[in-house]
């Protein structure tokens, strides 16, 4: 479709969102180099990417907190024009128990990348941020001008600090561009069922818990609270299909590299613009899969936001990107992926 063959470094590229983004980048004609330390993913993901796109991306097994590993990567893969930085630790609960691990991994990774960018003439970096920076919103849907609230976990704080580090670095006159993408709740899997989310142990997140319960791996799902101030009493989120989310990274990269008029630093919400409650999501899953999910109502989970969904207008208008996958299709893909994993 196009003849761009610019080289992009994807850190954390064998992870959940990273792997889907590598697929979309390769489909769009970019050449991808992945670095991942496999702390939360597996080498097998590379085969999934190859099965979908026909291309095996270059892969470096290494840790982004090691500056030497990264500079060797830039030496061995000359001409990298852009970076998408997914590499991070992401479990909220674990971050409360092991804050230093989270600060070290998430901050040092970013600092190393920024430090090397000017040296290797890398033009732009896309950073994986999160709607967690908004805390409990005063109004929904929430747009990018909403205030950043005090973080409720070390993980959330790393996202805020990373956004500030990038902002300060660009303000200092560094000749780079950056786009901060604030994801809402990414869910689902590639429709081919070649790649998807691979939670370690008992899932913390809702969708893997739903699919594992439907598959009989977990006895029942606990819905954390139905006494919230929402129409059905359960929490509301903006669930966004992972392939839609992945596509946004390609558009963001293209904007940084090809549009000389775009600002050096931009921030976008990535969501659908629709809030769905926990019960509505279970219902969507049951409709899509034809499988009932046994669940019970339990206590509220400490630290949960009551309701948050995105105003994605800025991304819609400026990036020309929009989430398009219907929720039933997302849930059906999540189920296909679950069935495929169970069959492995
Ligand atoms: P993931 O754990 O599946 O992917 C992260 C990848 O980075 C993993 O493959 C892991 O092995 C790798 N990694 C971690 N530390 C590394 C290091 N020091 N060096 C090299 N590789 C390293 O997570 P994901 O869900 O794909 O999330 C990707 C990014 O998006 C993360 O930055 C996460 O914080 C952010 N994010 C995720 C969500 C979500 O709900 N999944 C929401 C908002 C933001
Ligand atoms: N939930 C249940 N039962 C479960 C799991 C979750 O009822 O077994 C509920 C939660 O209480 C919450 C909703 O489902 O109301 C969504 O929970 P998730 O854990 O799937 O997602 P969160 O919105 O809590 O958090 C996720 C990521 C964070 C990230 C945040 C915003 O886990 O890392 O989205 O991007 F910061």
CA 114 distance to own-chain centroid? 20
Which residue lies with its CA nearest to atom 21 of ligand 1?
Answer: 36
Quote the Cα angle for 70-71-75, to 5°: 120
Spot the catalytic one: 16, 102, 134, 155: 155
Per residue in 172-196, pLDDT tens? 999 999 999 999 999 999 999 999 9
Cα–Cα distance measured from residue 285 to residue 279, given in angstroms and rounded to the nearest whole number: 10
User: H or E stretch including 295?
Assistant: strand 295-298
**Secondary structure (H, E, C), 67-87:** HHHHHHHHHHCCCEEEEEECC
pLDDT in tens, 76-109: 999 999 999 999 999 999 999 999 999 999 999 9
Q: How close is the Cα of 91 to the center of ligand 1, in Å?
A: 9
User: DSSP strand E in 155-234: where?
Assistant: 177-183, 185-187, 221-224
What is the number of the ligand closest to the CA of 129? 1
88 within 8 A of 128, measured Cβ to Cβ: yes
- Cα 248 to Cα 24, 221, 252, 286, distances in angstroms: 9, 31, 6, 28
Q: Which atom of ligand 2 is nearest to the CA of 156?
A: 36
**8 Å CB contact between 47 and 20:** no
- Under 8 Å CB-to-CB from 296, ≥6 apart: which residues? 220, 221, 222, 223
To the query of whether residue 134 is one of the catalytic residues in this protein, the response is no
Phi and psi at 77, nearest 5°, equal -125, 75
pLDDT along the chain (344 residues), means of 10: 78 98 98 98 97 98 98 98 98 96 98 98 98 96 97 96 98 98 98 94 95 97 98 98 98 96 98 98 98 98 96 98 98 97 66
Q: What is the pLDDT of residue 39?
A: 97
| Angle at which helices 109-119 and 67-76 cross, to 10° | 40
Phi, psi of 309 (to 5 degrees): -145, 160
State in Å: Cα 260 to ligand 1 middle.
Answer: 29
Q: What is the pLDDT of residue 341?
A: 86
221 contact partners, CB below 8 Å, separation of at least 6: 209, 210, 213, 282, 293, 294, 295, 296
Using most ligand atoms within 8 A of CB, pick from 87, 131, 157 the residue to mutate for ligand 1: 87
**Cα atoms in the Cβ-side hemisphere of radius 13 Å centred on 260:** 0
pLDDT of residue 121: 98
Supply 273's token pair: 């613009």
Which SS3 state, helix, strand or coil, does residue 34 take?
Answer: strand
Bridge partner list, 185: 239
- Which ligand gives the minimal distance to the CA of 218? 2
Provide the pLDDT for residue 276.
98
pLDDT, the chain, mean:
96
Question: Which of 302, 308, 273, 272 lies closest to 131 in space, CA to CA?
Answer: 308
* Distance (Å, whole) CA 36 – CA 45: 11
């Amino acid at each position: 479709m196009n003849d761009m063959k610019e080289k992009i470094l994807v850190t954390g590229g064998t992870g959940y969102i990273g792997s889907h983004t590598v697929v979309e980048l390769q489909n769009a004609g970019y050449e991808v180099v992945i670095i991942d330390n496999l702390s939360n993913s597996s080498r097998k993901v590379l085969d999934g990417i190859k099965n979908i796109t026909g291309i095996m991306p270059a892969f470096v097994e290494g840790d982004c907190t090691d500056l030497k590993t990264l500079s060797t990567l830039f030496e061995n893969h000359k001409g990298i024009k852009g970076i998408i930085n997914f590499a991070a630790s992401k479990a909220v609960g674990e971050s409360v128990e092991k804050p230093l691990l989270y600060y070290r991994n998430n901050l040092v990774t970013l600092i190393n990348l920024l430090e090397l960018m000017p040296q290797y003439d890398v033009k732009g970096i896309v950073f994986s941020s999160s709607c967690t920076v908004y805390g409990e919103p005063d109004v929904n849907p929430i747009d990018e001008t909403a205030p950043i609230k005090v973080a409720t976990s070390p993980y959330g704080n790393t996202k805020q600090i990373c956004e500030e580090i990038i902002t300060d670095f660009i303000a200092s006159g560094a000749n780079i561009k950056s786009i901060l993408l604030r994801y809402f709740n990414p869910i689902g899997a590639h429709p081919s069922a070649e790649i998807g989310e691979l939670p370690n142990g008992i899932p913390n997140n809702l969708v893997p818990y739903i699919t594992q319960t439907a598959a009989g791996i977990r006895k029942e799902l606990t819905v954390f609270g139905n006494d919230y101030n929402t129409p059905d009493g359960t929490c509301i989120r903006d669930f966004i299909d992972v392939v839609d989310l992945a596509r946004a990274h390609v558009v963001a990269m293209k904007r940084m590299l090809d549009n000389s008029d775009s600002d050096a630093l931009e921030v976008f919400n990535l969501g659908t613009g629709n809030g769905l409650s926990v019960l509505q999501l279970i219902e969507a899953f049951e409709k899509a899969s034809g499988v009932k999910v046994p669940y019970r109502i339990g206590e509220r989970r400490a630290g949960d936001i009551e309701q948050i969904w995105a105003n994605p207008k800025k991304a819609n208008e400026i990036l020309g990107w929009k989430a398009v996958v219907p929720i039933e299709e997302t849930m059906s893909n999540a189920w296909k992926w679950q069935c495929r994993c169970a069959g492995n």
